[in-house]
Structure formats: C-alpha cells, structure tokens
A and B are shown apart, each in its own frame.
Chain A
Amino acid sequence: MSKFKVPAGQKVSHLGAEVLLKGALIVNAFGVFLPLIFMINSSFRKSSDLFTTPLQIASSFDLTNYKLVFTEGNFVSYFWNSFIVTFSATAIVIVCGSSAAYALARYKFRFNGAIYIFFLAGLLIPAKLALVPLFIQMKNMGLLDSRIGLILVYAAGAMPAAVFIFTGFIRALPVDLDNAARIDGAKEHQVFIKVMLPLIIPVTGIVGIYSAIPMWNDFLLPLVFIRDPSKMTIMQGISIFFGEYGSNWGAIFAGLTMAALPLIILYVILSSKFIKGLTAGATKG
C-alpha cells in the first residue's frame, strides 16, 4: 500500500489548495448575499437612518416604504405590463418555435437547409444594433407605445434559439412514435399535438426560462419603444421611480426589492431549472 502514500510535502500543499477552494466559495457567497441583504434590510428603514447608520439592522418590518412604492410608484401597473408582455411573448415563442422545430426535424422539404440557415442568421444577429431601423419600422407599423409591439419583438428575438433547442431535442426522439400514430390514422397536426407535445414538455421549460428571463429583465427595448407611463414595464418603471424619488433611499430600496423579488423567489424554488435554462446553448454543444 505504500505505493499510494502521498508524500509529506504534497499533503501540505493539498491542504492549502483545499482551504483556498473552500475559501473562494465562502467569500463568493458573502459577495453575492451582502449587497442583496443590504438592499432588503434598507427597504425597511427610514432614509434619514440609512444616511447615518447604513449598516444597522432594521429594528422592525416597517412597511412604510412599500406603501409608498405601491401607492405612488405605479408599481402595480409596471408589474402587470411586464407580466403580460413576458408571458405572451414566451407563449408565442413556445407555440411557434416548437411547431417550426417539429417541421424542421421531421419533414424533408426543399428549403429545409435554407430555413435552418435563416434561423441561424437570426440567432447570430445582434438585434440591439438594428435598434434604429427597428424603431422606424415599428413607428410605421403603429407599434410604438404598444405592448403588442414589445411582445412581437421579444418573441422574434427569442425565436431562433427556441427553434434550435426544440429541433435538437425532437431529432433525438425516435420517429417510430410519430409513425405509429400515423398508422393509427392520426392527421399531421394530431401527431404533433397528441404525440409530440407531451414528449417535449421537459425542454419546453428550458426554452421558457431561456426566453422569459431576459424579457422580464430587459430595459433597452421599453426604453426606446414605450413612452406612455401606463404601458411601462417594471425595469423601466424602476428607473423612472429612481429619478423621482432619488433622495428617498428607503423607498428606492423597497422598489428595487419589489422588482427583484419575484425572480429571486422563483429561483429559490427552481434554481437547477434556471441554471439549465439560462446556460442552454453555452453548455453541451
């Protein structure tokens, strides 16, 4: 057994490495949590207290700041708009993306390759850079200052990636399943709805997260396309709120906490799904 004995010197460096690695994780955890805890803690305190003793722990769950955010900050409407836009655009991405992927993966038709390249181009184009033409185009289409406009742009932006993720997944499913249904007399749309849809549910979650999170978090498109306060999204709203209540830190922190909380709660419940969804495309492939 002496063959496997670790030389003494190596043991020491091994211990050092172990401490370094564990230490890195602990330092990282503090680095991640401290700013967030500071934000949440400050949201329960008065601004004047925040300026003198920023690091003191809130003495009570004082909800004054939150009341201000809800009554004067339009936050209910911001949340509602963000929710409607994100939900609708993600639904469009999932429905259209999965059906397009089904066609691409299962049928051989003349333009198959061309369509694949088309979506690839859509995937690679940095959409932010075409903001000016898009703005003028939306203006001409009457889609400025409209939630529908935002929904369509978001759906289009997330579509290529969704098509790729779905296509890869469907290609890996055995064709015999569809054929069995066809032999039983199912029509094409029935094959898709009855056979395919139940099978692609797991990957639908990934596509949903991959699409929805950036939409919910986006700031640039509403900034350019939405001017009407009643149609603004939450990330845009928070910057408006910041502008209006800039010196009322307690209220600002309450607003930031409100804006961040829905995703953080979802993340606590579904963290591995989130991680898988958001790194889809960057891992494996």
Chain B
Amino acid sequence: MLFITPALVLTFIFTLVPAMTLLSYSLFGWKSFKRMEFVGLANFERLTQFPFRQDFTLAFANNVKVFLVLFFVQTAVGLLLAYAIYRLKRGQKFFQAIVFLPVILSLVIVAFIWKLILDPLFGPISTVAQQMDWPWLNQPWLGQPGLALFTLIFIGFWRWVGFPAIVFLAGMNSINEDFLEAARIDGASEGQIFRKIIFPLMAPSFTIIAILTFIGAFEWFELPYVIGGVTGQPGGSTTTMALLFYRLAFGTVDSATVDVGISSAIGVILFLFVGIGAALGSYYLRKREIEQ
C-alpha cells in the first residue's frame, strides 16, 4: 500500500478533485472567483441565450470543422506517408525520423514560426508571391475570416501528421507477413494487397487516430490562442470551445470580466461531449475491426 499511496494522492488531488468540483461549480452563481448562491441549471440556461448562445454555436461549429478536416486530411496523408515508408527497402528509420520531427516541437514555437512565415507584409510567402507575381499565393492567410481557420488547420496538420503516419506504419508492420506472401503468390498486385489486406487490418490504428483527433480537436487551444488571440481573430472566426472557456474564466486583454459559472458549464458540456463521443466512437469503430 505504501508503494501506491503517493501516485494515488497526487492524481486524486490534482486531476480527479478539480474534475469533480467542475460539475459543482457549474451549478453556482459566481462573482469573479468567489462562489455565491446555488443556482441549479441557470448557467446552462444562460448558455442558450444572448450573447453566449452565438459564441457557443460559432465555437462549436469551428471545433467540428477542425475535427472533420483535420481527421480526413491527416488520415489520407498519414496513410500515404506510412505506406511509402513501409515500402522502402532502405532508409526506413531515416524517413520515420523526418516525418515525426514536427510532432516533438512545441505548438507555441510552431505557431510563431508560421505566423511569421505567413505575415502579409514581411513574411517570405507574401514576398515571394509578389516577386513572382502569383496573386493566388498572396492571400491574407491568417487575416481573412473565411480562410484563417483553414490556415490554422493546415498548421496543425503540419505539426501533427507524423503522429498518425507512425501509428499507421506500426499497424502495417504488425500485419503477419504470411498473408501478404500468400496473396503475392496468388498473383495479387501491390495495390490489391493494400486495399484488400493491409487497409482492413489497420482498423485498430484508425480507431486510435480517430479518437485522439476527436479529443485533440475539441480541446484545440494553443494554436488559435497564439495566432488569433483569445478572442479568435480575425473577427472571432478562429474561436474554439477551449478559447471561449478560457476567456470566460480568465478574461481577455481588454475586458477582465470573468464568468466562472458559464465557463464551468461549458467545461461540463465539453467534458460530457468529448467523453461520450470518444466512448461511442471507439465502441462503434471497434465493432468493425477484424481479428487478424
């Protein structure tokens, strides 16, 4: 028992206690960080009214976009890279290391590098676009409401695609060579082998990436925070649930009004959404997996 106590106590105090109090906080009125009277579900009700309703819907829709786009692009490109490395006869380790490199970088660093690269006045992209006279490249990538969120998703993709690629590669490497050998002897082409054997047997890897991307997308914070600020500039177009939750709890640069009640209510909703979503998703995807 002595062995287990320190780990237990630490996890309890700093992970489980805050998670449980979050639920109770959402049921109280708040004055700054001071807890007031019990208000039942009033905080949740206020979320359905002006102005929170608009903020909430916009942020939620953005998170859904982030998840869908990121998941499809990441899976497609990750799969391509994984298969390319899988088929290499030499240099597998080398290309794995390159593909995975951005994953180890801090999101803050990644965000700042891209913010400067895409700077509309002084960034290399816009300079090159002007010198080459390529108007299609000379866009306000981070400054135009319809475009900024997708640019952010691209940056997230740049930083993270190595992760699914390596997980898929591990999935491919775990496939029994005998299946592939048998198919080759039967005259199947490599394309057929990929579609009919490798792809279906990689289902567990897809499940994991889908769940992780889902959780990551709905907790998206650092990247939009560093690039678009806590209010999701330009014009709130890059706001996310986590940003909304953060600015309601800790205020913004120009307004220090905080609303812990609403913020906790959003926390609870996200919590349930991510938890239930991840559980249902893994159940549904697991069912479709094939035993090797």
Interface residues of A (CB under 8 A from B): 3-4, 10, 13-14, 17-18, 20-22, 24-25, 28-29, 31-33, 35-36, 38-39, 50-51, 53-55, 92, 95-97, 99-100, 102-104, 109, 115, 118-119, 121-122, 124-137, 139, 152-153, 155-157, 159-160, 163, 192, 213, 216-220, 224, 235, 238-239, 242, 249, 252-253, 256, 259-260, 263-264, 267-268, 271-272, 274-275, 278-279, 282-284
Known pairs A29-B98, A155-B10; A21 contacts B3 (CB<8 A): no
Chain A min CB distance to B101 (Å): 5
Chain A min CB distance to B53 (Å): 20
**Contacting residues, chain A, for B264 (C-beta < 8 A):** 132-133
**Chain B at the A interface: SS class:** helix
Looking at chain B, what size class is its interface with the partner chain? Answer: 35 or more
Q: How far is the CA of A97 from the CA of B4 in the complex (A)?
A: 8
Q: How far is the CA of A156 from the CA of B263 in the complex (A)?
A: 23
**Contacting residues, chain A, for B267 (C-beta < 8 A):** 129-132
**Contacting residues, chain A, for B93 (C-beta < 8 A):** 271-272
**Contacting residues, chain B, for A118 (C-beta < 8 A):** 8, 11-12, 16
On whether the beta carbons of A21 and B87 are closer than 8 Å, the reply is: yes
Known pairs A38-B117, A152-B14; A25 contacts B81 (CB<8 A): yes
On whether the beta carbons of B102 and A32 are closer than 8 Å, the reply is: yes
Give residues of chain B (31-59) contacting chain A, Cβ–Cβ below 8 Å: 33
Of A3, A10, A260, the most chain B CB neighbours within 10 A belong to A260
Chain A min CB distance to B43 (Å): 12
On whether the beta carbons of B11 and A137 are closer than 8 Å, the reply is: no
Chain B min CB distance to A192 (Å): 7
Q: CB within 8 A of A282: which of B116, B174, B212?
A: B212
Known pairs A256-B109, A256-B112, A282-B208; A130 contacts B18 (CB<8 A): yes
On whether the beta carbons of A271 and B97 are closer than 8 Å, the reply is: yes
Of B3, B219, B260, B263, the most chain A CB neighbours within 10 A belong to B3
| B179 lies within 8 A of chain A by Cβ | no
Known pairs A50-B122, A51-B122, A100-B8; A260 contacts B105 (CB<8 A): yes
**Contacting residues, chain B, for A282 (C-beta < 8 A):** 163, 167, 208-209, 212
Q: Can you list 14 residue pairs at the A/B interface with Cβ under 8 Å? A: A3-B187, A17-B191, A18-B87, A35-B158, A38-B117, A54-B122, A54-B123, A118-B11, A127-B18, A132-B264, A134-B18, A156-B13, A219-B225, A252-B116
Known pairs A54-B124, A252-B112, A260-B109; A131 contacts B102 (CB<8 A): no
Instruction: Give 1 or 0 for each of B276-291: 1 = CB within 8 Å of chain A CB.
Output: 0010000000000000
On whether the beta carbons of B21 and A133 are closer than 8 Å, the reply is: yes
CB closest chain-B residue, reference A3: B187
CB closest chain-B residue, reference A152: B14
On whether the beta carbons of A35 and B122 are closer than 8 Å, the reply is: no
On whether the beta carbons of B112 and A238 are closer than 8 Å, the reply is: yes
